[in-house]
Structure 1
Amino acid sequence: MFACGPVLLSPHVSAATNAYAVEVLSDLPIAYWKLDELSGTAMTDSSGHGRNGLYGGLVALGNPPLITAGKSIKTSTTGTATVATAPNDAALRLPGDFSLEFWIKTGATTGNVLSMEQGGVNYPSWQLGLNSSGCIKLELRTSNGGSIAALIATSAINDNAIHHIVYTKNGSLVTAYVDGAPNATGSFTGPPFSSTDPVSVGCSYAPGYDTSAMIGSLDEVAIYDTALSAARVLTHYTAGIAP
């Protein structure tokens, strides 16, 4: 939990970056990777829950931000090396309602953005990635190797412009948001089957399944154990594009 009181800006954090972070943190994410690092291998969790991760071989740090300030990470080639991973945690297995949020800039029609894999048996429990039309697709499985429940956003985002993506699950209702607006809906009774492997950021962990990393830039990745409302999604988007 976060204490009430004024938010203090460090000398190195702009008001624009802080305004966006304030909106995210007010919704109590269970993981929040801002991806602002300039060097090293540590991917810091800003949620306060200590779910820190590690950058891998494909990532370039310190790139221009996808919100109004800060930095982003970037990959310029796909492959089986990791971009970033965070240790497995029961909360990140999405056992109930959830929201998955990030900012992305890409021109690709393939690549994984965010996932939890069952690497030893090749199937993802849940996975967000790009399809052949350049749309974001969420896949969820209730059993290892079982059928996939998929929700594909209807708007292509592979135009090398910056886009804000949120997927929420509220009960059995799954909603995709693109740039602050509802874009597609579906249903999933769930939960996804329980995986013991890491959360992958910008790539996929599962050997033998689909290990392609995304090509492009990624920023401000957050996971919540609640479904953000449409109003909150719009607020986040507005804060992210504010000058």
Structure 2
Amino acid sequence: MKNALYWILLSLLFLGIQDARRAYASPYATEVLSDNPVAYWRFEDTSGSTATDSAGSNHGTYNNVALGQASAAPALGTAAGFNGTSADVSVPALGVFADLSIEAWAYIDNFPGGWSSLYNTDGCAFPCAHWQFVNLDVPRFEWALAGSDWSNGFVFGGGSWYHIVTTYEQGTGVASLYVNGQFQEHLFVLSGLVTTQSLGRIGSWGGGGRFVDGLIDEVAVYGSALTASRVLAHYNAATVPEPVSLVFLGVGVIALGVLGRRRATPPSSSTASRLSS
């Protein structure tokens, strides 16, 4: 009877943790959604070809992408894997913006010579948005908005996760880059509308070339310029542990410990005498 109770409790504990995780709202996703992204692809899909937009109806389509990959932190859930030769995610046209922010987590296994595109609008005719790594001497980040393109001084390395955010404000003409929550550089660019009015690609350039070899996660596009404090809040939220898992784990350890002690406790003398009689 005790053995059966032990295994029943263990099974219920496991199921409870799974249910709690499914119900758990990621603190990172909560921070992102509070800033009203136009589109937000979390890559939490476990099967199928649809890349779910957690902010609305701008769902994308997976092309040769490996789902369910480990992301940078538990709060980020799963990432999407890109093979460097044919994998990408096609996404809808999002609109025309005076201000714009693009955000993602990226892990690059290998930086080829040239470009690896995280996000771009197909047939990028200015003004447009393209967003990519460039490795002409060392890996840097390059983006094009409102008629100009630039690369920055921050040097990236393969085999590490990076949280990357770029912002653009039409009123000031200022574009900014943040890496891992920290401001890196301001650039003053031509003022004008930024468009993503053509179809977009995540992980390649227009579906032909500049493929990413690595992992991408939590891609978000905003029709506003995130502030430095909001960028840092997003980054910090990725390190918050899942509280429900910790609670269930603690309860489970206590319960199993109690049962284990009961199983290991020898029978009392009165019980032993009854068993021997």
Does the pair score TM above 0.5? Answer: yes
**Distance in 1 between residues matched to 2:143 and 2:68, nearest whole Å:** 28
Stretches of structure 2 lacking an aligned partner (at least 5 in a row) = 1-18, 242-277
**Distance in 2 between residues matched to 1:51 and 1:140, nearest whole Å:** 21
Change (3 A) 1:40 1:206: closer
**Distance in 2 between residues matched to 1:123 and 1:40, nearest whole Å:** 34
Secondary structure in 2 matching 1:190: coil
- Tell me the CA shift for residue 195 of structure 1: 6.1
- Tell me the CA shift for residue 66 of structure 1: 2.1
Kindly indicate whether residue 34 of structure 2 is the aligned counterpart of residue 26 of structure 1.
yes
Change (3 A) 1:64 1:82: closer
Secondary structure in 2 matching 1:114: strand
What do you get for the CA RMSD once the two structures are aligned? Answer: 2.3
Which residue is 1:13 aligned to? 22
Q: 2:167 touches 2:177 (CA, 8 Å); kept in 1?
A: yes
Secondary structure in 2 matching 1:154: coil
**Distance in 2 between residues matched to 1:152 and 1:67, nearest whole Å:** 28
The residue type paired with residue 145 of structure 2 is L
Which residue is 1:108 aligned to? 111
Q: 1:117 touches 1:123 (CA, 8 Å); kept in 2?
A: no
Q: 1:135-164 deviations in whole A, cap 9, x for unaligned? A: 11111354xxxxxx1232322223311110
Which residue is 1:63 aligned to? 69
- Aligned structure 1 segments of 4 or more residues deviating by more than 6 angstroms: none
Q: 1:111 touches 1:129 (CA, 8 Å); kept in 2?
A: yes
Kindly indicate whether residue 137 of structure 2 is the aligned counterpart of residue 129 of structure 1.
no
Change (3 A) 1:53 1:170: same
Q: 2:93 touches 2:199 (CA, 8 Å); kept in 1?
A: yes
Change (3 A) 1:63 1:14: farther
- Tell me the CA shift for residue 14 of structure 1: 7.0
Q: 1:43 touches 1:53 (CA, 8 Å); kept in 2?
A: yes
**Distance in 2 between residues matched to 1:158 and 1:237, nearest whole Å:** 19
Change (3 A) 1:168 1:196: closer
Q: 1:97 touches 1:227 (CA, 8 Å); kept in 2?
A: yes
**Distance in 2 between residues matched to 1:225 and 1:123, nearest whole Å:** 18
Q: 2:126 touches 2:145 (CA, 8 Å); kept in 1?
A: no
Alignment partner for residue 192 of structure 2, among 187, 190, 193?
A: 190
Q: 2:103 touches 2:219 (CA, 8 Å); kept in 1?
A: yes
Q: 1:161-198 deviations in whole A, cap 9, x for unaligned? A: 11100000123110000010110111221224x56531
**Length, aligned pairs only:** 215
Kindly indicate which of the two structures has a greater share of residues assigned to helix. 2
**Distance in 2 between residues matched to 1:21 and 1:202, nearest whole Å:** 21
Kindly indicate whether residue 238 of structure 2 is the aligned counterpart of residue 235 of structure 1.
no
Change (3 A) 1:238 1:195: closer
- Tell me the CA shift for residue 134 of structure 1: 1.3
**Distance in 2 between residues matched to 1:196 and 1:225, nearest whole Å:** 13
Kindly indicate whether residue 73 of structure 2 is the aligned counterpart of residue 73 of structure 1.
no
Q: 1:63 touches 1:74 (CA, 8 Å); kept in 2?
A: yes
The residue type paired with residue 220 of structure 2 is A
What TM-score does the superposition give when structure 1 sets the normalisation length? Answer: 0.80
Query: What does residue range 164-243 of structure 1 map to in structure 2 within 5 Å?
Result: 164-171=163-170, 172-188=173-189, 189-192=191-194, 194=195, 196-205=197-206, 211-243=209-241
- Tell me the CA shift for residue 118 of structure 1: 2.4
Which residue is 2:159 aligned to? 160
Stretches of structure 1 lacking an aligned partner (at least 5 in a row) = 1-9, 143-148
Change (3 A) 1:186 1:136: same
Q: 1:117 touches 1:126 (CA, 8 Å); kept in 2?
A: no
Q: 2:163 touches 2:181 (CA, 8 Å); kept in 1?
A: yes
Query: What does residue range 35-74 of structure 1 map to in structure 2 within 5 Å?
Result: 35-47=43-55, 49-57=56-64, 59-69=65-75, 70-74=77-81
Q: 1:151 touches 1:184 (CA, 8 Å); kept in 2?
A: no
The residue type paired with residue 129 of structure 1 is Q
Secondary structure in 2 matching 1:236: helix
Change (3 A) 1:195 1:236: closer
